[in-house]
C-alpha cells in the first residue's frame, strides 16, 4: 500500500446523497499476491465521479460556446509520433514513455500527451480539407512513467483543446479566454502565466546567449541541467532546484530576443487579452516541456501558488511546427491541456460544492416472486415514460427495500404485495409523510407523472432514418 500515490486530502462533504457512501466501508482482507493497482495508476470511484462529471459538463459547455468539436484519438500510437516531435531531449521522451514492442514487433507507446495524436488524426483523416481552423477538444487518460507523488500519477487525465490551421494571434488569445472562463465557471481563481518562446528564427540566438550566460556556472547546475545546457538549454529556466533558479535569475530573457514577427504576434495576443480583461502574468521564465512549442506559451497556476509549475493545473501554447514534424504541410496550431486530477484536488481543497446528483423519482418495492415480475414490468413502463425509477429487486422483505428507498431519498415508493397483485393495484407511498394510497395498476404511470409534475415523457428513443425520409 505504501507504494500507492498519496491521495489528496478528502473534503468533508460528499456530493452524493446523504447516507450513501458516507462511512467508508471496511475493506475485507484479500489473499496475499492478489493483483493490485499498479504504482502510479488510478481508479476513479463513484464517490469521486461527481467532481469528474462536473468538469465534463463545464468542458462541454465551454466547447459548445467556443465552437470546439469532440475528438477521441487512439490510446496506443507508434512511438515515432512522440519521439522526435516532443523532443529527444525532453524528460517525457527520455524517461517517461510507456514504450514497448507489440506482438508484431512494432514499437508502440501509450500516449503521454494529446497534441501529437490530435495532429496525427487531423493529417491522417484529411481534416485539412475542412473549413479552417479546425477546433477540437478531447479528454482521457495519458501515461507517463514518472516518479509518483501528490498530484503526479503514471496514469492521469487531461482535458485538451486544440485549434488547428490558423496562425492569427487572436487564436492564442481565444484559447486563453476559454481557459480562464473554464476555471471561473468552476469557481476557481487561477493565475495565467504567459510568455513567448519565439520560433526557429529567433530561438537559436537566444539559446546561444543563454548558454553563454550559464557556461561559467555549469558546474553549479544540477546534473539534469548540465545535460539540458547541451540538449535543451531553455529547460534550465524551469528547473525547480533552488541553485539552478538562482543561477538563471539574471539570465537573458527570451522576450528581449524575439524576432520582429514573434514580438508582434506576442504583443497582439496581450492586446487582445487586455481588451477582454483576461488577467495574466508575464512570466519570462516560462518554457514548456515539449520541443514543438513556438511563440506563445502559457501555464495555469492555482492563484494562491506562486511556487511555479510544480502544481500547474495546465499549460499550452502555439505549435506551428508540429504538422511538418509529422510529415504534413505547414499548419499553424495552438492548444492547451488541463490536468483533471489536479483540478479535482483543488475543487475539494477549496470546498467548491458540487451540484447534487439527482436521485430516483420513484422506488419500486415488491413482496414475492410474482410481485417481482409485476414490478419489473412496471419498471419498464415507468422508464419508457421518462421517470427516474429504481428498485432493489433481489431483496425480499418490504422493510429492507424501503430502507434503500430512504437512503436514495426517493420521494415516492410503489409497493406491490400479494394483495395488490390480486387486486391489480399498486400501493403508492409518500416517503416523507408515510401516507399510503391504493392506485389502480393501469393508472399508476399517469399518477406518478402527475405527482412528479411532469406532463411530457422524455423524448422517444431515436428511430432509424428510413431511406425515403427527405
Ligand atoms: P503537460 O502535458 O506536461 O503540459 O501537462 C499539462 C497538465 O497536465 C499539467 O499542468 C498537470 O496539471 C497535468 N499533468 C501532467 N503530468 C501529470 C501527471 N504525471 N500526473 C497528474 N497530472 C499531470
pLDDT in tens, 111-126: 999 999 999 999 999 9
The residue whose CA has the least distance to atom 3 of ligand 1 is 289
Does any ligand 1 atom lie closer than 6 A to the CB of residue 312?
A: yes
pLDDT at 271 over 50: yes
The residue whose CA has the least distance to atom 10 of ligand 1 is 314
Please state, for a pLDDT cut of 90, what percent of the chain lies above it.
Answer: 71
The residue whose CA has the least distance to atom 21 of ligand 1 is 152
Does any ligand 1 atom lie closer than 6 A to the CB of residue 315?
A: yes
Residue 339 Cα to ligand 1 midpoint, Å, equals: 5
Residue 117 Cα to ligand 1 midpoint, Å, equals: 16
State the pLDDT at residue 1: 31
State the pLDDT at residue 461: 57
CA-to-CA separations, 108 to 33, 71, 75, 154, 218, in angstroms, rounded: 29, 21, 10, 17, 36
State the pLDDT at residue 439: 97
In the structure, what pLDDT confidence band is assigned to residue 10 with cuts at 50, 70 and 90? very low
| 181 neighbors 63 (Cβ within 8 angstroms) | no
| 186 neighbors 55 (Cβ within 8 angstroms) | yes
Nearest C-alpha neighbor of 224 from the set 235, 215, 214, 216: 235
pLDDT at 251 over 50: yes
| 213 neighbors 249 (Cβ within 8 angstroms) | no
pLDDT at 462 over 80: no
Does any ligand 1 atom lie closer than 6 A to the CB of residue 60?
A: no
The residue whose CA has the least distance to atom 13 of ligand 1 is 339
- Cα distance between residue 395 and residue 100, in whole Å: 48
pLDDT at 18 over 60: no
| 159 neighbors 337 (Cβ within 8 angstroms) | yes
- Cα distance between residue 304 and residue 190, in whole Å: 8
- Across residues 86-97, what is the average pLDDT? 89
CA-to-CA separations, 139 to 166, 297, 338, in angstroms, rounded: 22, 21, 9
Continuous segment of H or E residues that includes residue 135 = strand 134-143
CA-to-CA separations, 52 to 148, 206, 314, in angstroms, rounded: 21, 42, 16
pLDDT at 144 over 50: yes
- Cα distance between residue 261 and residue 42, in whole Å: 44
Q: Which of 145, 158, 290 to mutate for ligand 1's pocket (most ligand atoms within 8 Å of CB)?
A: 158
Residue 438 Cα to ligand 1 midpoint, Å, equals: 58
pTM greater than the 0.95 cutoff: no
For 191, residues 6+ apart whose C-beta sits below 8 A from its C-beta are 279, 281, 300, 301, 302, 303, 305, 306
- Return the SS3 of 131: coil
HSE-up of residue 13 (Cα within 13 Å, Cβ side): 13
In the structure, what pLDDT confidence band is assigned to residue 454 with cuts at 50, 70 and 90? low
Which segments of 8-98 does DSSP mark as H helices, in order? 49-66, 80-86, 91
Amino acid at each position: 500500500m505504501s507504494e500507492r500515490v498519496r491521495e489528496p486530502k478528502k473534503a468533508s462533504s460528499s456530493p452524493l446523497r446523504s447516507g450513501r457512501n458516507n462511512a467508508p466501508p471496511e475493506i475485507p482482507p484479500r489473499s496475499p499476491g492478489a493483483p493490485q493497482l499498479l504504482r502510479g495508476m488510478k481508479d476513479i470511484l463513484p464517490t469521486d465521479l461527481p467532481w469528474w462529471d462536473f468538469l465534463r459538463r463545464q468542458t462541454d459547455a465551454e466547447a459548445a460556446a467556443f465552437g470546439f468539436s469532440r475528438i477521441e484519438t487512439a490510446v496506443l500510437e507508434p512511438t515515432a509520433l512522440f519521439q522526435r516531435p516532443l523532443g529527444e531531449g525532453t524528460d517525457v521522451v527520455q524517461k517517461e514513455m510507456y514504450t514497448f514492442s507489440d506482438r508484431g514487433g512494432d514499437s508502440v507507446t501509450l500516449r503521454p500527451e494529446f497534441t501529437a495524436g490530435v495532429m496525427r488524426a487531423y493529417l491522417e483523416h484529411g481534416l485539412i480539407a475542412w473549413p479552417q481552423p479546425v477546433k477540437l477538444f478531447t479528454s482521457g487518460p495519458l501515461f507517463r512513467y514518472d516518479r509518483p507523488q501528490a498530484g503526479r500519477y503514471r496514469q492521469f487525465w487531461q482535458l485538451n483543446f486544440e485549434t488547428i490551421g490558423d496562425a492569427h494571434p487572436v487564436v492564442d488569445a481565444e484559447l486563453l479566454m476559454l481557459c480562464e472562463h473554464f476555471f471561473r465557471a468552476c469557481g476557481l481563481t487561477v493565475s495565467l502565466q504567459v510568455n513567448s518562446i519565439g520560433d526557429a528564427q529567433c530561438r537559436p540566438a537566444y539559446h546561444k546567449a543563454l548558454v553563454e550566460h550559464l557556461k561559467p556556472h555549469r558546474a553549479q547546475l544540477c546534473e539534469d541541467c548540465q545535460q539540458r545546457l547541451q540538449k535543451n538549454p531553455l529547460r534550465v529556466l524551469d528547473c525547480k532546484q533552488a541553485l539552478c533558479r538562482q543561477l538563471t535569475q539574471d539570465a537573458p530573457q527570451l522576450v528581449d530576443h524575439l524576432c520582429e514577427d514573434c514580438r508582434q504576434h506576442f504583443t497582439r495576443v496581450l492586446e487582445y487579452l487586455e481588451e477582454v480583461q483576461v488577467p495574466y502574468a508575464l512570466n519570462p521564465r516560462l518554457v514548456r516541456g515539449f520541443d514543438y512549442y513556438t511563440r506563445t506559451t502559457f501555464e495555469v497556476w492555482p492563484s494562491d501558488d506562486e511556487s511555479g509549475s510544480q502544481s500547474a493545473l495546465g499549460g499550452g501554447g502555439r505549435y506551428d511546427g508540429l504538422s511538418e514534424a509529422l510529415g504534413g504541410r505547414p499548419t499553424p496550431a495552438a492548444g492547451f491541456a488541463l490536468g483533471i486530477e489536479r483540478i479535482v484536488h483543488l475543487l475539494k481543497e477549496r470546498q467548491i460544492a458540487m451540484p447534487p446528483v439527482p436521485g430516483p423519482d420513484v422506488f419500486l418495492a415488491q413482496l414475492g416472486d410474482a410481485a417481482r415480475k409485476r414490478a419489473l414490468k412496471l419498471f419498464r413502463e415507468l422508464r419508457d415514460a421518462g421517470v427516474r425509477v429504481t428498485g432493489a429487486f433481489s431483496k425480499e422483505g418490504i422493510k429492507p427495500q424501503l430502507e434503500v428507498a430512504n437512503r436514495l431519498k426517493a420521494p415516492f415508493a410503489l409497493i406491490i404485495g400479494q394483495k395488490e397483485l390480486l387486486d391489480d393495484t399498486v400501493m403508492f407511498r409518500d416517503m416523507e409523510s408515510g401516507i399510503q394510497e391504493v392506485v389502480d395498476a393501469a393508472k399508476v404511470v399517469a399518477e406518478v407523472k402527475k405527482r412528479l409534475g411532469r406532463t411530457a415523457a422524455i423524448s422517444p428513443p431515436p428511430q432509424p432514418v428510413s431511406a425515403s425520409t427527405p
